[in-house]
Structure 1
Amino acid sequence: MEFAQLCLILSSLTVSPERSQFRHYETIILSCAANSTGWMVRRNTSYHFSQKCQFGWGVPKESSCKIDTAYPSDSGAYWCENNHGGCSNVVNLTVTASPLILESPVHPVTEGDSVTLRCSYKDERLISSTSNFSTNFYKDGQLIGEEKEGRMVITIISMSAEGFYSCEDPSRGKTSEKSWVGVRARVIPPEDPPTDPPHFLWIRIAAGALIFILYAVILLLCLCSIRRWARGRAAARK
């Protein structure tokens, strides 16, 4: 649920657990990372627009919001905002009643990084979630791989890998919701101009000194010649 932000990005929103999909009744903690106070968590859902964190769906604290019991109606776009026109990045969260979810990065990843996608299953009979089952992974609705242990590792992610991902547990006949995995370009710092090795530096200094001496000698010879010429002309006039 993306939307245009007309604000200055001065903070970032962190999500714990750090993923974009959650099961019904899970606890979600959203925190604004900023150097000042006065930040609040807001959200857009199917039922509300720019709704600030408040009792009824969340527990507001200074620069954070805790969703004790998540419901599918909590699915939406979340961000941080202050009263001075500042905001944070937007994260999209999905809460589902399905026992199968895809654990994927909640924030865009950097081109060239390694990314792990995990298909996780948990129902009321299990104390903890499991990924120990054969899994099909999909990107934009197309099958991209079959993994035996519920994990897919993209060792070097590229810009072309950006898209909507989901996973399927064929043995249980379950498919997860889709989540967007964003990829940002890697910023390559500018290279420093090449520097000459020390011995080349001394050669350049010596060459410069020799050229200076040569010009000085030529200038002195020219001055001496002019003086002799002037003296000879003066003597001829006498």
Structure 2
Amino acid sequence: MELCIKLMVKMLLLLIAQDHKYSEGAYLHVHPNRLQFFEYDSISLNCSGFHGPAEWRVIKKLGLNSTQWETSKKFLYIKPAFKSHGGEYWCENEDGEKSMTVSITITGGDVILEIPAFPFMEGDFVTLGCRKKGMSSSLPPDFYKDGHYLETGYAGKITIPHVSKSNEGLYKCSFSESQGKSPESWMAVTAAHVAPT
């Protein structure tokens, strides 16, 4: 009898661990995959990797303690995007389970930082780009982290090989003072999972 109870407890713990692992793989998918957009761009948001009986919906934060169901489905399409569409989004179900938050910026300016919406894992290879609205710039963009100059992207972008927690921070880019600069976006880096030995 005692052996049966131990086996049942182990199975229950295994199921909980599997659920927890699965929820980590579920996320709010943003297409195109970036955090910054120009006004009038088209954006789609959907809850990917969420399964089970609970219904997942896209949520937008409205204020300090106020949220809004943006849609009754797992998919939200914004066309055209306006500044008011910017903000924090995540997926949530009626049981209160949530995905990680994605902070989207919609700018009326001429420059955006092309930074992927997914959080990076330690060790990932990261590429950041800089885009000018309309015609492309003939100047290479400068990239900044936490307000400090980082490097010039002579190919229009920069790469960070083997990203780590030290690379977390606020990033922006600019082509020149006259051509403007992008808004800042936070680059999140999550710790890599180490398999038990």
Aligned to 2:34: 19
Q: Judge conservation of contact 2:58–2:73 (CA < 8 Å) in 1.
A: no
2:175 is matched with: 169
* Cα distance change, pair 49–181 in 1 and its aligned pair in 2 (3 A): same
In 1, are the aligned partners of 2:168 and 2:188 still within 8 Å (CA)?
Answer: yes
User: Equivalent of 1:135, from 137, 141, 152?
Assistant: 141
TM-score (norm 1): 0.67
1:89 and 2:100 aligned: yes
- Residue 69 of structure 2 is aligned to residue 52 of structure 1: yes
Q: Relative contact order (C-alpha < 8 Å, sep 6+): which is higher?
A: 2
Q: Give the number of the structure whose residues are more often strand, by fraction.
A: 2
Number of aligned residues: 173
- Identity value in percent: 35
* Conserved 8 A contact 1:118-1:151: yes
2:162 alignment partner in structure 1: 156
Contact 1:39 1:63 (C-alpha < 8 Å) held by counterparts: yes
CA RMSD of aligned residues (A): 2.2
In structure 2, the residue matched to 1:109 is 120
Instruction: Give the match for residue 118 of structure 1.
Output: 129
Instruction: Provide the rounded CA distance (Å) in 2 between the counterparts of 1:38 and 1:131.
Output: 45
**Unmatched 5+ residue regions in structure 2?**
1-19
Mark the runs of 5 or more structure 1 residues left unpaired by the alignment. Answer: 1-7, 54-59, 192-238
Distance, in Å, in 2 between the alignment partners of 1:120 and 1:35 is 36
Q: Separation in 1 of the partners of 2:62 and 2:150?
A: 30
Residue type of the partner of 2:69?
K
Residue by residue over 1:99-140, the C-alpha shift from the partner in whole angstroms, topping out at 9 and shown as x without a partner, is 2100112122011111000001123xx4xxx47631110000
Name the structure where helix makes up a greater proportion of residues: 1
TM-score (norm 2): 0.80
Aligned partner of 1:190 among 186, 191, 196:
196
- Matching residue within 76, 80, 104 for 2:91: 80
Alpha-carbon distance in structure 2 between the residues aligned to 1:150 and 1:132: 10
Secondary structure of residue in 2 paired with 1:73: helix
